A and B are shown apart, each in its own frame.
With several copies, the nearest count.
Chain A
Amino acid sequence: MFKETCEVLENKTVAPDHFLLKLSSKKIGKAALPGQFVQILCSGDSLDPLLPRPFSFLEASPTSFSLLYHVVGQGTELMAKFKKGDKVHVLGPLGKGFTLRRKTEDGRGKRLLVGGGVGIPPLYHLAKDLVRTKEVKKSDIHVFLGARNKSLLLCEKDFLKLGVQLHLATDDGSKGHKGYVTQVLVKFLKSSIFHLPSSLIHSCGPTPMLKAVSLVASEFGAPNEVSVEVPMACGFGACLGCALKVKGETPGSHRFAIACTEGPVFEGSKILWD
């Protein structure tokens, strides 16, 4: 975990109300893992808004990292005003990311990445790492993207460049399957034959999607992990504000996990969805 003052290298629109922010970094970028996140002080030294805002990594290198953010309120509106050369206070890398390496009998397993909205950026980070580390064959990496319309299928081209298998869905049918991305996932799981237990489904996006994916996963008996989005104050375990209801030690019991340190990536089967 580092506290860095990063310089804005780039802050450009990539989709309606969506920006890509690239920041210089000596420490955070080098340490960043897929699924981890940073806390950004959008208002600099002003007290309004007071709290930092959490954002997943889209990409990371030893000298920089980038985020892809949706402008939804006061903090992200201020971020949209960031100009090249501005200084930004950042905390990171934070949290526990996605599972990268895992033992499977003679690596027969596939990786299924299911993303929606601003849940897509961290999955791109993950896909890129899986390809780079040759953890699984490109042909075994299947990415499922969902969005309201095709202009919001974030990172689509980047995934194509990676050479992974892409499956698309839009609510309005402007591209790919018309409907939910989970429907595409189900179809895929039904039609294709591969060793599910040694596969792993990673998903990130709106909570209803995460819930649906982990239900599907458990139906098919496929291990799955989800990256949750909960309101946070500190982002590193100091406030206990980011509670997530998960299964407790004893059957039927529950406890509140601290999403910023135990997560944001959790085993889907552990979460008690309401």
Chain B
Amino acid sequence: MGLDLSVQIGKIKLKNPVLVASGTFGHAKEFEDFFDLKKLGGIVTKTITLKPRLGNPPPRIVETPAGMLNAIGLQNPGVERFIEDKLPYLKKLGVPIIVSAMGYSVDEFMQVVQTLDRADGIDGYELNLSCPNVPYSSKTETLSLVKMFAHDDRMIEEVVSAVRQVTDKTLIAKLGPDVSDVPKMALAAEKAGADAVSLINTFIAMVIDVKTRKPVLANKTGGLSGPCIRPIAVRMVWETAKRVKIPVLGMGGIMNAEHALEFLIAGATAVQVGTANFMNPEASSQVLNGIEDFMKKEKLSSMKEIIRSVKS
């Protein structure tokens, strides 16, 4: 009998629990040479903002032990041109498309999603409440607001409920890791009507070049991702999944199926593959194959038998 890998995230039924993480999969087209994109459970796009953004000056990335820092600065064509230039290709793939959206204020969040809602071919939204690459030095109120979003349960509640008013599509709140109490933030999103939460975004981090005595990144700080953060991400997914009723999308350093299974067993309903796409463009496809192999080996027929199956 066949394996059923499907999972439900809000209104979206994913045929399998393996998605690709925002900002790590280009506009998907970059990967078409490597595997059949139809295989994916879903695609989360690079974060889209209301206006086009040039992004941060270089250097934007630096390698760290078992990880990397990035300060891309949300380079994106803006919501209008995203709909014109990028969405058509994504639509054609026949894979659930979750657009990562963000605004520099509650209003902007609403506008971005409203604009996207008019286009078709979008299945849901992941609200990026946790972009770490807003300049620390920034004084403008809107920016410092953004910096707060994921670190402040009231802001999370405000943004999510505001966006909830303007769309019926599946709404996912993406939370940041730089907090003491992730479940508290997730509960705020749940209360405000989010259909799911994504954990985790990158950690704010820094590398200094001792020769020049300057931060390596032009933005000074960047977001830490990759295998190095996985044990923290698994812990956060584990403690959050115990507290919220809505599904958790887990991510953070997933390089292969075993890592994805760690998240699923800890309580994630689906996983997102991020940094691994850079070293191995086939990573997400291989993660999926590996989960199927695991189910066969352990004679499992549905994801229910894996999700939150952690023993203690």
Contacts and interface: CB of A to CB of B under 8 A. Distances in A.
Question: Is any CB of A less than 8 Å from a CB of B in the complex?
Answer: yes
Interface of A: 1-3, 41, 47-52, 89, 91, 230-234, 236-245, 254-256, 261
B227 A238 contact: no
30 contacts: A2-B33, A3-B281, A3-B282, A49-B63, A50-B226, A50-B279, A51-B278, A51-B279, A52-B278, A230-B59, A231-B58, A233-B61, A233-B278, A234-B281, A238-B277, A239-B26, A239-B61, A239-B72, A240-B26, A240-B46, A241-B60, A241-B61, A243-B60, A243-B72, A244-B58, A245-B57, A255-B54, A256-B58, A256-B75, A261-B30
B63 A240 contact: no
A107 B59 CA distance: 40
A171 B30 CA distance: 42
A1 B33 CA distance: 6
Interface string B59-88: 111110111101010010000000000000
Nearest to A234: B278
Contacts of B23: 239-240
A231 B217 CA distance: 11
Interface in B20-52: 23-26, 30-31, 33-34, 46
A45 to B, nearest CB: 10
A232 B275 CA distance: 13
Given A241-B72, A243-B56, A51 B34 contact: no
Contacts of A48: 65-66
Interface of B: 23-26, 30-31, 33-34, 46, 54-63, 65-68, 70, 72, 75, 226-227, 255, 275, 277-282
A231 B61 contact: yes
Contacts of B275: 50
A47 B227 CA distance: 8
Contacts of A49: 63
Contacts, number: 97
Given A1-B34, A51-B279, A238-B30, A243 B55 contact: yes
Given A2-B33, A50-B68, A245-B57, 10 more contacts: A231-B58, A238-B26, A238-B31, A240-B72, A242-B58, A242-B61, A243-B55, A243-B56, A243-B60, A256-B57
A234 B34 contact: no
Contacts of A245: 57-58
A230 B60 CA distance: 10
Given A237-B26, A243-B55, A245-B57, A231 B62 contact: yes
